[in-house]
Each structure stands twice: as structure tokens, then as C-alpha cells.
Structure 1
Amino acid sequence: MQKSPTPQPAAALENRQLDLPLFAEPGSTSSSPSPSAPGSLGSAPARPPVAPLAPDGSKLRSLAIGSRTLHYALKRSARRSIGFAIDSTGLTITAPRWVTLADIETAITEKQRWIFTKLIEWQTRVEQRALPKIDWQDGAEVPYLGQPVRVTLGAPQGMLAFSAEHGALQLPLPLQADPQQIKDRVQGWLQGEAKRLFGERLAIYAQKLGVNYRAYALSSAATRWGSCSSDGKIRLNWRLIHFPLSIIDYVVAHELSHLREMNHSPRFWQTVESIFPEFREARQTLKSHPPELLPTL
């Protein structure tokens, strides 16, 4: 979800937890377009967005802009400025209670190109996610550490076998195996690899930083790549196994750094950089690679 800047919520004092979101750059939820943002200049998209449902606690409104009608949910709050948030449900406007509807609609009109562009981007993502990502049969391919791995059935001796050199995963299943069986075996293998590899990387970077974590586990979270609580418990999204090792290392370094700084302050990012100097490139990769484009497993 792309949002205008908002204050970070206060964490519980006894057991704080900081998350690395799936959608936004850590420490920022800004949705204001940069000079190079797709919607800042150029012609507006020809295809109108689908009207969203109003989220709880909001009022659904519409605004005619030229030949198009823009639907949006309006929320009132104590914030000082008008905020724009776009996700798969559409546009949500959060405005101060004292701002008039006319002022809100003027602000929408001024940002219309960016708004329509982002709405179309989200609609496209939803459509892509709805398409079958993997045909679960002999010869299917899945991404593993940034490279495609080809799945073959009928492994000899009835044992699962993986060849990193050939990018091949052999499953001890018959050629006529049910797609769900194939999917379950591949996902089980990927999660097993994630558990093993993430543990290895945590040990390496914990030693570099001189910290100890209490425990770690895999997660299937839909909204974050990782999290770290103040009592030393770390959770890492198993789907990171799809990415190159450098991306995994960034998330590991990010979460371990929270054991030093439970915030996203400049000191926190200096801590991350001290053990993973290339964090900016990895952070941008995660920011620009939304989870909808990962294989639907």
C-alpha cells in the first residue's frame, strides 16, 4: 500500500516489534511522486480504474475528472495535511477535519495523473496475480535464489534430489502425479531450504554485529519480509528464498540491527550499513518487486 508519510505507531513497551514491510521502503510510507514517477507527467491512462469498495470507517465518494469518474474513500482525521493512499481497493483520502470538500477535490485534481497511473498499476498487479503462475507438472520452473529451477518427476531411487549446477529439482513422484502433490513437495523443499539457509546467514551476520538473537522462525506473512521483537525473536518470510542471496542477507542484517536499534533512525541505518554496506541496492530491489509478482505457491 502506498501512503503519504504518517507517524510510526507507538510499540508496546514490554515487547516491541519492528517489521520490514513487503510494499514500502523501510522507514517510509511515502506515496508522493518523485520527479521521475510514472504519473508525474505525460498523458493519463485510457483505461478507467475499477470502482473500489469503501473501507470500514470511510465514506465512498466520486469525482468527475474530464470524461472519467474517480471513486475514492474519504476519511477525516486530526492530521495536518491531505494524505493519499492507493492499494488494490482504490484511492483513500485522509484529510484534516477542517479542510473543505472543495479543497480536497482540488488536491485530487492536481494529482490526477499520478493517481490514475497508480490505480492502473494496482489493477494490473491484481490481474497478474489472478493468472496461473506455475503449471504444476513435469518441467515446471520455480525461482530459487534468483535463478530458475526446473522440476522433474520420477526421481531415481525414490529420493528427492537437487542439482544446483543444473538448476534441477527431481521429485520422487510419478509423471501422472496430482498438481497439488507436486506443489506441496516443491513448497516443502523451498521452505526447508529457507530454514537452513536463513539460519546460516543469521549466524554469520549476528557474529559480525556482535549480537545474539533468542530464536528465529519462518513466516508466511502477507505484509512483511521480516520482523524482530525486543526479546530477540526474529521471523523471516520464507518466500525470500526466491531472491538472490544478497537480498536475503539484507533482510537478515536489517532484522539483526534492530537488536541494537529498535527504530528506523539514522543510527539504525548506520548499523545496517556496518555489516551490509550494499543495503541501499537491496532495499530498492525489495521496494520495486511487489509480492504479487512472486509465484503464487
Structure 2
Amino acid sequence: MVVKEVLPVSPSAPPTALGVASAPSSWRHPRANREARLCDVVVAYEFKRGQRRSIGFVIRPEGLVVSAPKWVPLHQVDAALQDKSRWIVQKLGETQARQQRLRARGIAWCDGAVIPYLGQPLRLLLVRPATAGGKVLKFETGGLATAELSEADAPSPTLRLALPEGATSDQIRDAAQAWLKRQAHLLFKARLDHFAPQLQVQWSALALSNARTRWGSARSDGSIRLNWRLMHFHSAVIDYVVVHELSHLRVMDHSPRFWATVHAVIPDHLALRRQLKDEALPHGL
């Protein structure tokens, strides 16, 4: 999850006190090149300059990233940091707590493991290659096992993975994720074809992304990239991301005109966007 805040470039007020007793004494981004004391907490952050109109703050799992226009003096950056000090330290704490919860919920890749699939639990079942689904299953290129989804199983659907006896956790993970990626390509293509006519756009190519903090992207030539991990979310969330990227083929920014384009097709896009941010995936996916 990435938390963003953008501020207009202007002098700011002094910081307010943070009422979080459990806040650590310091936060450090691994690529930190500046630091500030915010609410009695030392925050070492990554500072970037670029072609932008305002100072922006992004809270990532690794820490705080601050971006500013090239012409903004450092004292204004410092003032903006102090003005948002309470928000920054609070979000750093929330992000750390969230990462700890995700690690605690980490997937153990083994027979019987449960992973989210289209918003529902999917159980992994290891079977001998010759008996999966009552037919012989052969290994595919790269040593990944074939897989078969059975939705008749109770209490939840089961993904049968044809793997050799003694398969390692890495082999189980790779086989399950290879199947998920195949399903992702099929589903994403179908949803792109479904929504493109509604938006009066034409997409040209689909690629799967493996990014950790970005769900999709679009280029002016019509090429679309979508994160295969979207397959862990409900189909409505996937549709929102598909429409979001297709809308960029009409408006290549996040202006009010862009959001109006998204809204015309997905009226509840704000709720789905929050769901995408709030429904964290377990560690290891």
C-alpha cells in the first residue's frame, strides 16, 4: 500500500504534538538522503526533485519519499514537512503495523495452503502428476506443474497442482503463481475487450506486471500493463483497474476530466479504489 499526500508550495505552520505513545524514535528509508525531526521522531527520507507543481509525500513500506519541484528551496520543503509532521509519523506507524500484520498472515506454500482468488479462498491440493483430475498431467516448460481448478469442492474451490512427491515450497508457489498468471491474462484480455468499446478506445497489447506498488499502467500507443496479483481481488476491483487504465487512453493524466471518464463507466470507483488500498494481500503473494 502506498499513502500519498500533495501540498501546495507555501510556508507552513509549526508542527503539532503527536499523541502516539508507541511511535519509534526514528524511521529510516533505505535510500535516505535527508532527514528531519518530526514530532520528536527522526525521519530519514528519500528526497527527489522533478518536473512537478507541488511538494508531495509518499509513505511506502520502506519509508517516506518526498518529491519537490526543482525551483522550490529546501527551507520550504522543511516547512512543509513540519506542517505535515503529525500525518507523516502517523502514516509511517500505520504502514509498519500493516506490514507486520501481513508478515503474520504470510502464506505457507504447502499442501492445503489457502490463497485469495477473485476475492474468495482457494485451497491448494497437491496430487500425483498421473492422477490429477483422473487424467495424466505432464510437466510444462520450466518444470512448472499443470494445474486444474475444481469449483465443486466444499467448502471452497480447490486448485489441484500436479507436483512430484516432496515438492518444495518454492515449487508449490511457482506452480500456483504460474496458473494465476495464465488466468490473469485470459481474464484481463476479456475485460479489456468488454470495456474498451464503452470508453471508445482501442488497446493494442497486454502485458502482465509483477510490480509491488503499482497495479497498472497505460501508454499512448494503446499498450496496457496489469499486475497479475489483481487476481487475488474481487472481480469488481479488477474491473476498476482495467477501466482506470483504459481511461488513460483518452486522458493521460489524473485530471477531473480523467476521473469523470472513469466515473461514467464505474460509478462506484472511489469505493473500489479504497478497497484496493485497504484489502492488503498476505505476505508472500
TM-score when normalising by structure 1? 0.72
Which residue in the other structure is 1:286 paired with? 276
Shift of 1:288: 2.5
- 2:77 is the alignment partner of 1:116: no
Evaluate the alpha carbon distance shift between residue 150 and residue 85 of structure 1 in structure 2; reply closer, same or farther with a 3 A threshold. closer
The answer to whether the Cα contact below 8 Å between 1:230 and 1:259 also exists between their aligned partners in 2 is: yes
The answer to whether the Cα contact below 8 Å between 1:149 and 1:169 also exists between their aligned partners in 2 is: yes
Shift of 1:274: 2.1
- 2:97 is the alignment partner of 1:148: no
Which residue in the other structure is 1:2 paired with? 3
Which residue in the other structure is 2:176 paired with? 186
Matched residue of 1:187: which SS?
A: helix
Structure 1 counterpart of 2:93, one-letter code = I
> Sequence identity, in percent?
42
The answer to whether the Cα contact below 8 Å between 1:49 and 1:123 also exists between their aligned partners in 2 is: no
Matches within 5 A, 1:1-80: 1-5=2-6, 43-53=19-29, 55=31, 58-62=33-37, 69-73=41-45
CA distance, structure 1, for counterparts of residue 169 and residue 259 of structure 2: 44
CA distance, structure 1, for counterparts of residue 183 and residue 235 of structure 2: 12
Matched residue of 1:224: which SS?
A: coil
Shift of 1:195: 0.5
Evaluate the alpha carbon distance shift between residue 267 and residue 113 of structure 1 in structure 2; reply closer, same or farther with a 3 A threshold. closer
Which residue in the other structure is 2:73 paired with? 97
Structure 1 counterpart of 2:148, one-letter code = A
Shift of 1:81: 7.7
- 2:205 is the alignment partner of 1:229: no
Matches within 5 A, 1:237-252: 237-252=227-242
CA distance, structure 1, for counterparts of residue 29 and residue 249 of structure 2: 40
The answer to whether the Cα contact below 8 Å between 1:217 and 1:234 also exists between their aligned partners in 2 is: yes
Shift of 1:165: 3.9
Shift of 1:241: 0.5
Shift of 1:254: 1.1
Structure 1 counterpart of 2:151, one-letter code = A
The answer to whether the Cα contact below 8 Å between 2:125 and 2:159 also exists between their aligned partners in 1 is: yes
Looking at both structures, which has the greater relative contact order when contacts are Cα pairs under 8 Å and sequence separation is at least 6? Answer: 1
CA distance, structure 1, for counterparts of residue 64 and residue 112 of structure 2: 41
- 2:284 is the alignment partner of 1:296: yes
CA distance, structure 2, for counterparts of residue 83 and residue 210 of structure 1: 33
Shift of 1:74: 8.3
Which residue in the other structure is 1:200 paired with? 190
Evaluate the alpha carbon distance shift between residue 124 and residue 233 of structure 1 in structure 2; reply closer, same or farther with a 3 A threshold. same
Shift of 1:275: 2.1
Q: CA RMSD in A?
A: 3.4
Structure 2 counterpart of 1:2, one-letter code = V
CA distance, structure 1, for counterparts of residue 112 and residue 182 of structure 2: 21
The answer to whether the Cα contact below 8 Å between 1:206 and 1:212 also exists between their aligned partners in 2 is: yes
Q: Could you tell me which of 128, 138, 141 is aligned with 2:111?
A: 138
- 1:54-107 Cα shifts (integer Å, max 9, x gaps): 746x333446x5xx5423348597999876543334446678527389x749x6
- 1:174-225 Cα shifts (integer Å, max 9, x gaps): 4532212111110010001001111111111112223211111111122311
Matched residue of 2:75: which SS?
A: coil
Q: Could you tell me which of 157, 167, 170 is aligned with 2:135?
A: 157
The answer to whether the Cα contact below 8 Å between 1:214 and 1:233 also exists between their aligned partners in 2 is: yes
CA distance, structure 2, for counterparts of residue 270 and residue 61 of structure 1: 38
**What runs of 5+ residues in structure 1 fail to find an aligned partner?**
8-39
Q: What stretches of structure 1 move > 6 A for 4+ residues in a row? A: 76-82
CA distance, structure 2, for counterparts of residue 71 and residue 204 of structure 1: 46
Which residue in the other structure is 1:212 paired with? 202
Matched residue of 1:5: which SS?
A: strand
Structure 1 counterpart of 2:59, one-letter code = I
- 2:252 is the alignment partner of 1:262: yes
Shift of 1:243: 0.5
